A and B are shown apart, each in its own frame.
Chain A
Amino acid sequence: MRYTNKKPAIGKLLLSIILLVIAFIMLIPFVWMLSASLKYDKDVFTVPIQWIPQKPRWQNYTEIWEKIPLLQFVLNTSKLTLIVTVLQLLTSSFAAYAFSKLDFKYKSVLFMAYISTIAVPWQVYMVPQFMMMRSLGLNDTHLAIILLQAFSAFGVFMMRQFYQGIPDSLCEAARIDGMNEYRIYASIMLPLSKPALSTLVIFTFVSTWNDFLGPSIYLTTQSKKTIQIGLRMFIGQYSSDYGLIMAASVISLIPVLIVFMALQRYFVEGIAATGIKG
């Protein structure tokens, strides 16, 4: 009995301390970023740190658009992300329906082709893929980035796993009612797969928006660059414009933050479901 009284108090204190440390480690970089984005360059590294700048320099957020074609970068990235996400969603849920609910010749061979490539990291074939794109005249085009991101085996695999959980009898009943397969996909499967689709949206959105190596191999013309390589180039050129760099960084985080906040419930569920199944 002595223990039961003492333990929760110590446990709670320990828990609070751990929580504080977590919040500190996780948030400090972002708070620092926000704070520095409103400072003059000379004030960024002053000690003691001014977390809230006395004279916030809001101009950082206006100047950055003139200093580099940030708007162009944002538009390019948005375009790529939107197209890749839509293509990925449509084609992989479509293919996954066949793999999960239809019976056809070469089904297992085709599915094996998908599965076996999941184990091959993109870094292993990025060089031949680039050679192929170049021979098709697609280097330095947005189309190349779209084509290499939009048809992932991962999307098909993930959607199929989800469809496996939907009872076949649902489709059978619809078939008896005279629905064709396209109708079943559109009016039964799609509405049921909202959680899986949302997870796939976030995965695709985040990985396309944040992709660095892909665009840095393919895109060389300044006006075609994405936000990640554009921002990186800016950091390379003006490495001591701390305030501007941080302002640009904050801007680059906003779209991801919005999508993440809107869909985070699905994200956590999705990782849990697909993660554990592997």
Chain B
Amino acid sequence: MRNNKKSPERKRKTKRNLIAYSFIAPNFIGFAIFTLGPILFAFVLAFMSWDGNNPIHFVGLGNFMKLGEDSRFKVAFINTIIYCAVTVPLTLSAALVLAIVLNQKIIGRNFFRTISFFPYVASLVAVAAVWNMIFSPGAGIVNVALSHMGVAKENLPGWAADAKWAMITVILFSVWKSMGYYMVIYLAGLQGIPGELYESSGLDGANTWQKFRFITWPQLRPTTFFVVIILVINSFKVYDQVYMITQGGPGTSTLVMVYHIYQTAFVTSTNYGYASAISMVLFAMVLFVTLIQFKGEKNYENA
């Protein structure tokens, strides 16, 4: 009896669920197989030894123990941190300056915004090719300009070819390529600051610097927080720029985490289990930053 009474209601519910699932299914099936599955597999693989041909077998924490003895891993880890530590503040300040300047009422504002943003969407291979020629140690225009400015020939930086300068070359390229993106985020943040704040401070006689120091910067704090998080995560994932500019060299001077993962899995060996263990370190780094983000966002919501 009870079942019969409920059945039209239940039928309606089932139908409602089925309609909803039909909306989700096309994406979810692809997502579950090609994203969710591999992610779960990555966690398993990190505890396995597998070269893709011989049978897979469990090695426990073996792969993670190996990390401690892998000097290339240590170098890659440190290089990734260095890359992050320099790229993040540089990109952030460049993006902020761009955003503040391009938020003014100036002639050709849209033109300047467009050209600042274009490197972000431009094909990486193409712009990296130009970058390599412009920063060519011998005849590139940067070094030609530097020697015109009186830098002695033996003091000219060797850029991508010089172990001391290679990381800086990659970083400068990354900053140039991505600052337009963060500029857009900052522009949105700037437009959210109420104009009255500036008007009343203007009446109080605040100068431009004071306005920045006491209105713009504090008001932009949530935006800055968000930009830092995204920048840090993207820095941890850096690969393309390094590959195009220096191929990880000279020596190991620009070897980064993802480069090491790629090489371990596909180039110097087919050690998929160990490559996944390195990936887990990368994941832990990103997760750590994401957790900070969650915490921070809660704070800003409460504030």
Q: Does A90 contact B (CB under 8 A)?
A: yes
In the bound complex, do residue B34 and residue A147 qualify as a contact, i.e. CB atoms below 8 Å apart? yes
A94 CA to B27 CA, complexed, in Å: 8
A92 touches B27 (CB 8 A): yes
Instruction: Please name the residue on chain A nearest to B21 by beta carbon.
Output: A104
Residue A44 is within 8 A (CB to CB) of chain B in the complex: yes
Asked whether A108 is an interface residue with its Cβ less than 8 Å from the other chain, the reply is: no
Q: Is the CB of A32 within 8 A of B188?
A: no
A75 at the interface (CB under 8 A from B): no
Instruction: Convert B32-73 into 0s and 1s, putting 1 for each residue whose CB lies closer than 8 angstroms to a CB of A.
Output: 111111110110010000001000000000000000000000
**Contact partners of A103 in chain B: CB under 8 A:** 16, 20
Chain B residues with CB under 8 Å of A23's CB are 112, 115
Interface flag for B161 (CB, 8 Å): no
Pick the contact of B282: A44, A123, A272 (CB < 8 A).
Answer: A123
Which chain B positions have C-beta within 8 A of A113? 32, 36
**B227-279: which residues lie under 8 A (CB-CB) from chain A?**
233, 236-237, 239-240, 243-244, 258, 261-262, 265-266, 272, 275-276, 279
Distance in angstroms between the alpha carbons of A95 and B28 in the assembled complex:
8
Q: A192 an interface residue at 8 Å Cβ cutoff?
A: no
* B202 CB to nearest A CB, Å: 10
Let me know if A68 is at the binding interface, CB within 8 A.
Answer: no
Interface majority SS (helix, strand, loop, mixed), chain A:
helix
Q: Are B119 and A124 in contact (CB under 8 A)?
A: no
Q: Which one of B32, B124, B129 lies within 8 Å of A212 (CB-CB)?
A: B124
A232 CB contacts on chain B under 8 angstroms: 125, 244
With an 8 A cutoff between CB atoms, is B90 at the interface? no
Confirm or deny: A29 has a beta carbon within 8 angstroms of a beta carbon on chain B.
yes
Contact across chains for B125 and A123 when beta carbons are under 8 A apart: no
> Contacts A19-B101, A19-B112, A181-B19 hold; do A119 and B244 have CB atoms under 8 A apart?
no
* In the bound complex, CA of A220 to CA of B39 (Å): 24
Q: Which residue of A lies closest to B202 (CB)?
A: A4
Given contacts A45-B139, A275-B188, contact A123 B272 (CB under 8 A): no
For the A-B complex with A123-B282, A272-B187 known, give 6 more contacts whose Cβ atoms are closer than 8 Å.
Answer: A18-B97, A22-B112, A29-B134, A45-B140, A124-B283, A127-B42
Give every chain B residue within 8 A of A29 (Cβ-Cβ): 119, 127, 130-131, 134, 176
Asked if A272 and B19 sit within 8 Å, CB to CB, the answer is no
CB closest residue in chain B, given A26: B115
- Are A15's CB and B104's CB within 8 A? yes
Is the Cβ of B35 less than 8 Å from the Cβ of A105? no
> Total interface residues on B, using CB and 8 Å?
94
Is the CB–CB distance between A250 and B126 below 8 Å? yes
Q: Are A27 and B30 in contact (CB under 8 A)?
A: no
Q: In the complex, are the beta carbons of B34 and A129 less than 8 A apart? A: yes
Q: Contact: B282 with A121, CB < 8 Å?
A: yes
Chain B contacts of A47 at CB under 8 A?
139, 144
Describe B's contact surface by its main secondary structure: helix
Given contacts A19-B112, A125-B39, contact A235 B129 (CB under 8 A): yes
User: Among residues 286 to 303 in chain B, which have CB atoms less than 8 Å away from a CB atom of chain A?
Assistant: 286-287, 290, 293, 297
List, sorted by A's number, 25 A–B pairs whose CB atoms are closer than 8 Å.
A3-B207, A18-B97, A19-B101, A23-B115, A26-B118, A30-B130, A32-B141, A92-B27, A94-B27, A95-B26, A95-B27, A98-B21, A117-B31, A121-B237, A123-B282, A128-B276, A134-B52, A151-B28, A185-B23, A206-B121, A213-B240, A231-B129, A249-B130, A275-B188, A276-B222
Min distance, Cβ A52 to any Cβ of chain B, angstroms: 15
Contact B20 A228 (CB under 8 A): no
Interface string of B89-107 (1 = CB under 8 A from A): 0000000011001001010
Q: A153 and B31: CB pair below 8 A?
A: yes
Residue-wise, chain A 237-255 has the 8 Å CB interface mask toward B (1 for contact) of 0000010011011101100
Query: How many Å from the CB of B233 to the closest CB on chain A?
Result: 7
Q: Is the CB of A228 within 8 A of B116?
A: no
Q: How far is the CA of A235 from the CA of B39 in the complex (A)?
A: 34
Contact assessment for B31 and A129 in the assembled complex, using a CB-CB cutoff below 8 Å: no
Task: State whether A104 and B20 are in contact (beta carbons under 8 Å apart), knowing that A11-B208, A95-B28, A275-B184 are contacts in the complex.
Answer: yes
Inter-chain contact B34/A148, CB cutoff 8 Å? yes
Q: How far is the CA of A133 from the CA of B303 in the complex (A)?
A: 47
CB distance from A261 to the nearest CB of B (A): 8
B-chain residues with CB within 8 Å of residue A15 when the two chains form the complex: 101, 104, 106
Nearest chain B CB to A235's CB is how many angstroms away? 6
